[in-house]
Amino acid sequence: MSGKRAAAIVIRQYYLLRGSPARILPLFGWVAIDIVLWGVFTRYLNSVASAGLNFVSAVLGAVLLWDYLVRVMQGVSVTFFEDVWSRNFLNIFATPLSITDYLTGLVVSSVANSAVGLVTMLLLASAAFGLSYFIYGLPIVYFLLVLFLFGTALGIFSCAIVLRLGPAAEWLIWPIPAMLSPLACVFYPLSALPRWMQYPARLLPPSYIFESMRGIVAGRGASFSTLALSGAMALLYVLLAGWFFTRIYRYAVRSGLIARYSAESVS
């Protein structure tokens, strides 16, 4: 892998952002709306509920972590979509850029994009709604790492789907976080799901992260074995997503799919 070639993808994304303020606003605008909406809602729950649970830590903290995962996924996929929208694949892959260089550039771009959203959420949630991150302790760093890995895997997988099916498949990608959120157990324990839904939920690293977060808020602590399992699963999904993207790319090169890439689906 060449660091300079991967950096070229990042620099290209930087120039796109610098030249278009409309691309900058979504980096923090939507997450700010989410934090305000859920922050007000959790304060209301605290005022009317008698459960003795701090909903700001339990619910607003979960919203922050889930939004962070979504930002990571979209950071990878949107950087890829820039090449889809501009039909730039022939130019990109006519260079000595390797698949590893390209994917690394996508991931690093996602780090920068998601960091902006994360800082916005942290500042707004703590300043406006009094969310203290000390309640989660050091595991919060691990939570963010696992969610980053899984979000990266989802982003790379989404890129592969669009590369194989064509630009029209972009509309299959945006609903993925919403489709996974019931199984990720963002707002409720795994046991609340019907038994048949618990099996696929156990295959998603976020379900373990949110279970651990609620355990910490409730004073039970987090299970080390559960956290280790979620990290191993997230890393495995990143490797599988990279392998899947590589297979799709090689198929696209052999079949001439990249040269025939258009605004409609491809076969």
Q: Which residue has the higher pLDDT, 208 or 79?
A: 208
pLDDT attached to residue 263: 47
pLDDT in tens, 20-42: 777 777 777 788 888 888 888 88
Instruction: Give the CA-trace dihedral at 42, 44, 48, 51, to 10 degrees.
Output: 10
Q: Could you tell me which residues come within 8 angstroms of residue 75 by beta carbon, excluding any fewer than 6 positions away? A: 109, 110, 111, 112, 113, 114, 151, 155
pLDDT in tens, 108-164: 888 888 888 888 888 888 887 888 777 888 888 999 999 999 999 999 999 999 888
pLDDT beyond 60 at 237: yes
Domain residue spans in the chain?
3-255
pLDDT beyond 60 at 17: yes
pLDDT in tens, 168-205: 788 888 899 999 999 999 988 898 999 999 999 999 99
